[in-house]
Amino acid sequence: MTTYAVLLPADESTWESATAEQRAAMYEIHGRFAAMLAERGHKILGGAELTHSRTTKQVRRDASGGVVVSDGPFAETVEQLTGFYLVESDDLDDLLEVSALLANGGAPVEVRATVDQGGE
């Protein structure tokens, strides 16, 4: 089995301006996503909805090796990472098919294998 990160970029302003009904509909899609994964033998290991990117803290080192903490996202784009799932699967093609359920509003869903640190 391979573990995949299913990354969910989106336009955060769309979510902020969504009505309660629109938000409920999106949560219902995520519920269907989880149910479809389970029905098809995939296993969700974890995941979370992320807070707005304006709450982001970036940590980096400056030229002298000092630590610099700044506010806000690094990428200045409309779409920001809004959430993720960790999914264990032995069928990437099927996982991609199910992940298409979350690709709405034009934002793509990114599915990427994690690095196996188990040393099998």
pLDDT at position 1 = 92
Please state whether the predicted TM-score (pTM) of the whole model is above 0.85: no
Cα dihedral 93, 96, 97, 98 sign:
positive
Average pLDDT over residues 18-32: 95
Q: Domain coordinates of the chain in residue numbers?
A: 2-113
pLDDT at position 77 = 61
Dump pLDDT digits (tens) for 49-106. 999 888 888 888 999 999 999 887 666 666 788 899 999 999 999 999 999 999 876 6
Q: Reduced to 3 states, what is the DSSP secondary structure of residue 77? A: coil
Cβ atoms of 46 and 85 closer than 8 Å: yes
Classify domain 2-113 by CATH number.
Answer: 3.30.70.1060
Altogether, the residues listed in the chain come to a count of 120
